[in-house]
Amino acid sequence: NAGVTQTPKFQVLKTGQSMTLQCAQDMNHNSMYWYRQDPGMGLRLIYYSASEGTTDKGEVPNGYNVSRLNKREFSLRLESAAPSQTSVYFCASRKSGLADFYEQYFGPGTRLTVT
């Protein structure tokens, strides 16, 4: 049981390049989330998917797109990377149902630098 996995672990992009961050979970969770973490800013929600087939914007969605490929996978795409998108990106998932909704399971993160 790997939990939440993210690829790649590290990436360096030039301004204007595009890339997709991959996330997968093997816990049969319905809800999945993408966050970015910057010094002094905490975790900020970029996009989330309450269930397969749905996606919604979070606090900081500009410059990103997402795809909920199936129940296991939720990808984050940067179409034209900017230096302001330099950050650590975390994917998370959550159990279904009303109980334990507060516990999100996080992946190890992707460290992205845009030059």
Q: Which residues bind other proteins (CB under 8 A)?
A: 4, 31, 35, 40-45, 48, 50-51, 54, 56, 58, 90, 92, 94, 101-104, 106-109
Please state the closest distance from residue 108 (CB atom) to other proteins, in A. 6
Residue 18 or 96 with smaller CB distance to other proteins: 96
> Which residue, 28 or 51, has its beta carbon nearer to other proteins?
51
Which residues, other chains included, contact 50 with Cβ-Cβ below 8 Å and sequence gap of 6+?
30, 31, 56
Nearer Cβ to other proteins (19/43): 43
| Minimum CB distance to other proteins, residue 15 (Å) | 26
CA distance 52 to 67: 10
Distances (CA, A) of 101 to 25, 29, 66, 95: 16, 11, 22, 6
Q: Smallest distance from the beta carbon of 3 to other proteins, in angstroms?
A: 9
Q: How far apart are CA 57 and CA 8, in angstroms?
A: 23
> Measured from the CB of residue 112, what is the shortest distance to other proteins in angstroms?
14
| Contact assessment for residue 55 and residue 91, using Cβ atoms and an 8 Å cutoff | no
